[in-house]
Each structure stands twice: as C-alpha cells, then as structure tokens.
Structure 1
C-alpha cells in the first residue's frame, strides 16, 4: 500500500483577550449605582407629585373659602366679599345730587358703610360739580371721608396737584389725598410715571403723608408696579371673589363693584372694602 500522506496540522490562532467578544449583561443585571439613580429619581418624582397635590388642595381650599365669603346681598344688588369688615363707597358728578340720609342708613346684615371717597378735581382746571356738596354732607353724616383727583398724564402733574390742594379743604381725620390714574391720555409709560410722581411729591410736601394711588388692576400691573409699589394702593377689580396683584404687593382698598344699589337712590354706586382693621385704616387719615 502506498504510504499515507502526512497531513500538516493547521495551527489554531490564539485569540487575544482584548478581541474576545464580550457577553452582554442580561437586562435584569442592574448595577448598584443604577439602582440608586432609579430610586432617587422615583423619590423626586413622588415628592413633586405630592407637592402638586398639596398645592392643588390648598388652591382649592382658598378658592372655596373665597367663594363662601363672596355673598349676594339683594339689598345692595351685588355680591360682597364678607371676609372684610370695613366697607365704603365713592361718588362723583356721575351719581348726581345724592340723598345722604339714605346713604347713612344703608345697611344689610352686618354690613354698613363706614367711609367714602369723593371726586374733587380733574386735570389742571376742572372741579367736580358736586364736590363741595358731597364733601360737606359726608362729614355731616359721620362718614370717614377722602378726596381724589382724576389725573391726566398728558398735563403737568404739579399743576394738577396745585388745583387739588387749592380746592380741597382737608381736616384732621380725613383720608390722605388720592391720585386717580387710569388713562394713558396718549402718552408713554415714562411720561405717565413722571406725571404721577410729580403729583404725589407735590401733595406729600403739603400734607406730610404719602397719598393713595387709585387705579385698575390691569393699569397698575402695566404701568405703575415698577415705580409705585411702596404707595398705598386702592385697586379697582370688579365682580370677582378675591384680589391678588401680580407682584404680590399688598393693596389697601379694593373697589370690587360699580353696580351697587341703595334703596331710594337711582344711580348705581361703586362699593369698596378696606384690607385691614379700623386701627390700620386710621393710619391713612390725616
């Protein structure tokens, strides 16, 4: 038989450890660090959910309380925020010649009218037609009274302040003067701020106390909050159970309705509340 051919063995190449195919961990194989991260994230999410729930409950409770305190008073023809104990109104030529005996007697439940703001002047030359009558009658009928000026920001603030001071005979116990600013009169924010500041400074120099600023919620937040947040505020914001300002500044008076009725008086009135006690109210009197 012919000799068998010798078959040369083919050497098997050695695989380096670095080239070996790594075996992937099973999906369930999670490291200790990964477990900590997952646990921590879960805790944070849980805390956020609980916080949101608590916040939501708090807001619901707040809204519920506001609604409970916002009660319809048929005698006045409006809802009143009854969580405030000091109520008042304001008047101008628009209400005509008023019967102050009826205003003094106006009462419903535990709500009676304690104070009144009266329009005195407007712009540089205009005096309200019924200012003098209303001013005298308010004192005669025992109301805490205050006077306000309707400011036109396209006119000199100093000149307007001089008209107000010349017209209004302020006495001890009256409210500090009020600057009513609610229109732009076609001027920009900078001019509005300057006019308001000139009026306030001129009046404060004479009276010795910071005047009150009256305006709407929207106007305050759009034009005044940057420069006048440290002044006493009287804010108009109608037909809602509560009032909060965007800058969280404290308001002092709130004109909450312009549709109040008093039996025997044909024109509707603006109704207001004071945000505080009678001792705190007295701080705004001369």
Structure 2
C-alpha cells in the first residue's frame, strides 16, 4: 500500500515537473519571439526613434556598399518623382570643412537650390562653421537659410538674442528657422511651448519674417501641430517607404545619408513642397 502511494506521488511529481518544463519552454519561446520582433522593429524605425528622442546619427559613419546603394536609390526615386519641386541640403559643423568650390549635385542629377546652415545652439553657442558656411553659400549664388537649435531648459529670450546677434538676414535669404527636437527635463510641456512662442515672437519682430519650425514628424504630431497652426513646418521623416511629403509640410527632410562631392561624410537632403517660384516667394524682400 505504501509502495503504491509512493509510486503515485512519484508519478505526480514527474507530471508536475514535465508541465513546468513545458511552461518554461513556452515562455522562453514567446520571449524570444518578442525580442526578435522588437529588434526588427527597432532597426526598421531606428531613425524615427532617434529623432523622437532628440538624437541624430553620426554623419561621419560610413555605410556598407549594399546600404549605400539602397540609400542612393531611395534619394533618386524621391527626387526623380518630384521634378517640379526643388531640393536642398542643410549643414553644420558636423560636416567639417566643406569644399564649396567642389560642391556637386545630388545623385549627379539634381541641383542644390538652397542650403540651410546651423547658426546657433542654446543661449551661448555659435556653430563653429557658421560664418564660413554663411559666406560661402552666398558666393555660390544659392538661396540660403539659417537655423537655431533650441535647448528646452535654457532661457528662450537669451537664445533668441544669440540668434539675432549672429545672423544677418539679407534680401533673398530664407526666414529664420527654429529647430526643436528634445523634450524638457526641468519644466513642463506647457512651459516649453511658452518658451518656443517667446523665441518665435522675438525673432519675427526683429527680422519682420515669420520663422519656420523644424522637428521630427512624431514630435510635430504629438507636441507642436495643434499649438502652432500659424507656422510653416520643416519635417524630418526618414522612413524608407515614404515617397511623398504631407500637404502641410513646407519642407521634408527625407534622408540624412546623402553623399555629395565637396562634403566629407553624409549630409541631409530636403525637398521643398513646391517649385523654385515658391522657394523665392519665401525669401526676404
């Protein structure tokens, strides 16, 4: 009788152990599948995630031959399907010294009609290459623009004053541009929006031109779209499958990985949602 009881207990333990082992394998399989899906999505949308979090990839990073080919095909497809639109680039100190005398076309087929240079960052930093870039763009007889990289946790008026002190807009230049990518760490979103409006108002008053706002698409949809309806937007979206800008985007930054003669490393390419006439209509009169 005791032996029979021990056999039953042993059988029960084996069944319990087997069930536990099966559950462990199932959980491990589900977790592994979830991890694979997460990694795939993370890689596919890495550019969007980076922009949403306020980071840009290293423009100096080189691509493999296959990656380079895919990027070049994407750039060509976007520009060739928008022949009535104009394209341009934006630059900063991250491109290093640009050889303006050797500046080429985009994908050997598309002229650079405008160049936007980073001028200032926060309340106290001037881009190391701004003055040189600003002068050289004018010498190339290309329409130019300047942007300010906004730091959410610094005083907005101090940031506006630095931009005003640094950038002298002349006839034929694009409106001032405010680049906002990061969320604040020491203030609320409402306070951030107040600061952005203070910057925009001060800069518009000085130049008598309504600024353009730059941001990533997710940031724009979540935090800016409803609160800044009177402004035109320059939107970054690097989704490989997107072929068209939204109708309400003034500019679409569709890649950060172009290779252009005269520029070391990679550079952003932007498509104006319009033709050259519209581009000129935006400039200072």
- Higher-Rg member (1/2): 1
What residue in structure 2 maps to residue 204 of structure 1? 204
The structure richer in helix per residue is 2
SS of residue in 1 equivalent to 2:249? coil
For the 8 Å contact 1:76–1:262, the answer to whether it is kept is: no
For the 8 Å contact 1:115–1:145, the answer to whether it is kept is: yes
Residues 265/208 of structure 1: CA separation in 2 closer, same or farther (3 Å cut): closer
For the 8 Å contact 1:76–1:261, the answer to whether it is kept is: no
Measure, in 1, the Cα distance between the counterparts of 2:169 and 2:162.
13
What residue in structure 2 maps to residue 235 of structure 1? 235
For the 8 Å contact 2:118–2:130, the answer to whether it is kept is: yes
Gaps of 5+ in 2: 1-66
Measure, in 2, the Cα distance between the counterparts of 1:132 and 1:109.
28
Counting matched residue pairs gives 211
Residues 138/74 of structure 1: CA separation in 2 closer, same or farther (3 Å cut): farther
For the 8 Å contact 1:153–1:191, the answer to whether it is kept is: no
For the 8 Å contact 2:121–2:149, the answer to whether it is kept is: yes
Q: 1:61-72 residue pairs with structure 2 within 5 A?
A: none
Q: Deviations along 1:181-206, whole A, 9 cap, x unmatched?
A: 00013133212211110110001111
Gaps of 5+ in 1: 1-71
For the 8 Å contact 1:153–1:192, the answer to whether it is kept is: yes
What residue in structure 1 maps to residue 113 of structure 2? 114
What residue in structure 1 maps to residue 277 of structure 2? 279
What residue in structure 1 maps to residue 99 of structure 2? 99
Residues 133/231 of structure 1: CA separation in 2 closer, same or farther (3 Å cut): same
Measure, in 2, the Cα distance between the counterparts of 1:131 and 1:164.
11
Measure, in 2, the Cα distance between the counterparts of 1:191 and 1:78.
42
Measure, in 1, the Cα distance between the counterparts of 2:191 and 2:244.
28
Measure, in 1, the Cα distance between the counterparts of 2:136 and 2:202.
28
Q: Deviations along 1:102-155, whole A, 9 cap, x unmatched?
A: 22x325464111101100001111000000010011111121100000001211
What residue in structure 2 maps to residue 139 of structure 1? 138
Q: What RMSD, in angstroms, separates the aligned Cα atoms of the two structures? A: 2.2
Measure, in 1, the Cα distance between the counterparts of 2:256 and 2:202.
30
1:270 has 2:268 as partner: yes
TM-score, normalised by the number of residues in structure 2: 0.69
Q: Deviations along 1:249-273, whole A, 9 cap, x unmatched?
A: 6010010000000145321000000
What residue in structure 2 maps to residue 64 of structure 1? none
Q: Deviations along 1:49-80, whole A, 9 cap, x unmatched?
A: xxxxxxxxxxxxxxxxxxxxxxx996983522
Measure, in 2, the Cα distance between the counterparts of 1:89 and 1:257.
10
More relative contact order, 1 or 2 (CA 8 Å, 6+ apart): 2
Measure, in 1, the Cα distance between the counterparts of 2:151 and 2:73.
31
For the 8 Å contact 2:98–2:264, the answer to whether it is kept is: no
For the 8 Å contact 1:75–1:262, the answer to whether it is kept is: no
Residues 244/200 of structure 1: CA separation in 2 closer, same or farther (3 Å cut): same
For the 8 Å contact 2:95–2:266, the answer to whether it is kept is: yes
TM-score, normalised by the number of residues in structure 1: 0.69
1:159 has 2:161 as partner: no
What residue in structure 2 maps to residue 190 of structure 1? 190
Measure, in 2, the Cα distance between the counterparts of 1:94 and 1:228.
29
